[in-house]
Structure 1
Amino acid sequence: TRVTSLDDLDWGDPAAGDLLVLDTSPRLLLTASALPTAYARAVRHYRYGPGVMKVDVALAGPIPWRDPNVGRAPTVHLGGTREEIIAAEREVNRGRIPARPYVLAVQPSVIDPTRAPAGKAVLWAYTHVPLDSPTDATDAVLAQVERFAPGVRDLILAVHSSTAVTRAHTNPAEIGGDISGGAFTLAQAIRRPVVSRHPWRTPLPGVYLASSSTPPGPGVHGMSGWHAARTALGDAAGLPVTLDDVFGDD
């Protein structure tokens, strides 16, 4: 079920201890008629970063990296020199697709052989593009992979691409294709999405924000959700939850 309005969502009674934890963009909160004006203003002024364009590739064999050691790494950053990375990201910030994009590539079959048939491989890669960009940058992404793995194009069996616009349509939490939950600037490292000691708690009773639009921001650490859950359980039941409760104390 796609939720388009919090007013239409019957999620329980906060007075009875029911909780609603949102792993979404803060923009969804704007659909609640009871949202205070000041908070709504902060959400409307919250800025989003670049979008992402992603390519999924099926390969006839392992990626022929120029440096064989790279073939042992599940995640590879393809940017070239420091100057090239800066130039590529600057182009994106100016609303253009760089000829040599900074690419994050993942080869999951390196550590999980079941992700591909025997002797085959899979690769997915993404690059930053301007927010809301409809541009398919597949050729530029694959050219950057080819640069560091000559011959990889000859191994391609199938390609599936998703633009920033496509990603935003598929997942409304990715505003404009931004997978980071908002621009991670110095200001928004603190104002995420508001300046507060407990930014995971919204002004709506029983409603909490657990996405990377809250501190500590984007990543694979899961800490935004952890802090949201800890805040929610503390508010609802006075539970002093610690990391030991999740991971144990060993």
Structure 2
Amino acid sequence: MDDDSRMRRWQRWTDRPLAVASLVYLGAYAVHVLAPGLPGPVHDLLLSLSCAAWAFFVGDYVVRWRLSGERLPRFVRRHWLDTVVMVLPLLRPVRIVRTYELVERRHGHTQLPLQALVMLYAGMSSVLLGFAGALQVYQFEHTAPHASIRTFGDSVWWVCSTLSTVGYGDVVPVTPKGRIVAVVLMICGLALLGAVTGSFSSWLMQRFAGGSDREGPRGSDPRGP
């Protein structure tokens, strides 16, 4: 069995477990940030869950690198998004952008089911990514001096305006870590928004083109002479 076949089999086997691990990581992190008053053992358990999920991501990355047969620098360059996700597991939802690109390249054209799935997954990814970003910004900002993001609601409002590329500027991060999260959200927001709008525009063009083909040339009698 060649390396490509083993790589595909590994990805099929680990796709769902990795999705579950990402949700476990996100849930444990959310409780840790939003409920700081819980007993110490509970926070220790949450930390253990987060570390176990992160170890799963690292293990998956190492296995796929070994199965690829490539040198590490080349593998990192070719799979830069996976590298970012390994370092920051909360960003795992943005892998849908890479998946969309690969499917488009393989098919060579868009199809309605694919377009609908891309819009659905990109929308879900935006929600998960926005929630993760709101948690991180809230953790970094709410205790900082002169911070305008004091509550989790402020953080959610800021994330919505950032991901939608509106950027009202009424609340902004002031810490270096918060601004790094802001840059990542800006980049991911543009990518996800582009995937949704591109798929929707392509679907509309297909619908209009299909309608024009069914109607035939303007002014002609569909019943014939």
Same fold (TM over 0.5): no
Q: Give the alignment's TM-score, normalised by structure 1.
A: 0.21
Is the radius of gyration larger for structure 1 or structure 2? 2
Report which of the two has the higher share of helix.
Answer: 2
Q: Using CA pairs below 8 Å that are at least 6 residues apart, which structure has the higher relative contact order?
A: 1
TM, length-normalised to structure 2: 0.23
Specify which structure has the higher proportion of strand: 1
